[in-house]
Amino acid sequence: METILVYGASGVQGGAVARLLTSKGMTVRTLTRQEQNVATLKKQGIEAFVGDLSVAETLHEANSNVDKVFLNMPIEYDTELMKQQITNAVQAAQQANVKLIVVNSNGFLPEQPTTTETLDIKREMIQYVQQSGIPTILVKPTLYMENFLIPGLINHGMLFYPVPADKPIPWISSEDAAQYHYYALSHPELAGHTLLAPGPEALTGEELGHQFTQALRKDITFHSLNVDDFQASLTPVMGAQQATGIANFYRWIGENVDSLNYYNVEDRVIVPDLQLTSLKDWLQQPHIQAILQA
C-alpha cells in the first residue's frame, strides 16, 4: 500500500484529503508544527511528524519512504516565506525519490502573468514544482464553500462576500475538492496535466442568497462586499500583509470573473463519476447548520 505525505492534514483542505485517503486504506503522513496535534492526528489514522515547511531539516523524516506527496499551496502572502516553503518541500521530495506530487492551487489561479504579486509568485512556485523532475499534477479548485463560515459574513439578513453579484461561480466544498485530489493521486499517468475542480453548479449572488434563505429559514440577501471594506475588516484579525494579499486576490477575481467558468474549458481533464455536493445539500449538513446558526 502506498504511503502519501499530505501537507496541511490538520487544516480544512488537507484534512479532507487525508480523511479520504485513510478511508481508502492508504498510509497517510503529515507534518504539524504543534506537538499537541500529533496525538489527535494519530487517532485519525495519520502518521504525524513535528516539523515546519520553513525549516528544511524538519522535513526529511516525514518524506522518508514516501511514494507520493499532496502539496497545498500555502495561504501565505509573505512571498519570500512562500518561496522558502515550496523550495524546502520540493527538495525534500527529490531527496526521498518521491514518484508524484499533486499540487493544490488552493483556489482560482490565473494562467498568465498578472499585476498581483502574490498570484504571480504562486504561479512561479507551481512552475518550480512542475520543473523539479518529479512528475506533477496541478489541481485547481474554484472557491471553497467553507469560506462562507467566516464569522460576520452573514449579518442583519445579508450575506456579504467580495465577488460580483451577477456572475456565476461554481463553489466547491473541501470534501469534494478532495475527490479531485484523490483522483489525481490515483492517476499518475496524468502527470503534466492540470485538473480543473469546479463544484456541481455555478451560482450568482442572487442564487446564493436564495440557497441561504432556504437553509437558514430566514430571508438572506446577497450583497457584493466592497473589497476595500473587506480588507479593512481583515486587517485587525490577521495583520496588514495577509489582509492585503487576500484582498488583492479578490480584486483579481472581480476583474477576471468572466474567464473563470471552468465548465467551458475545452481542454480540461474530465474527472468522471464524482458525486459532488450542491450548496443546498452542503448547507443542510448538521455541523454546517450549527456554525451558521450560532
Return the axis-axis angle of helices 117-130 and 240-256, rounded to nearest 10°. Answer: 90
Instruction: State residue 113's pLDDT score.
Output: 85
Rounded distance between C-alpha atoms, residue 178 and residue 192, angstroms: 19
Domains of the chain: 3-143+172-199+261-275 (3.40.50.720)
Q: Report pLDDT for 267.
A: 56
Helix intervals (H) in the chain: 12-23, 37-43, 60-63, 79-95, 117-130, 174-186, 205-216, 227-238, 240-256, 279-283, 286-293
Q: pTM, whole model, 2 decimals?
A: 0.93
- Cell 520543473 belongs to residue: 131
For residue 261, what pLDDT is reported?
63
Sign of the CA dihedral running 35, 41, 42, 43: positive
pLDDT at 271: 80
| The pLDDT of residue 266 | 56
pLDDT at res. 1? 84
Stretches where the chain sits below pLDDT 50 are: none
- Candidates 228, 262, 265; CA nearest to 247 is 228
Q: What is the pLDDT of residues 104-152, one digit of tens each?
A: 999 888 888 888 888 899 999 999 999 999 999 999 999 999 999 988 8
3-state secondary structure of 195: strand
Tell me the backbone φ, ψ of residue 45, rounded to 5 degrees. Answer: 85, 20
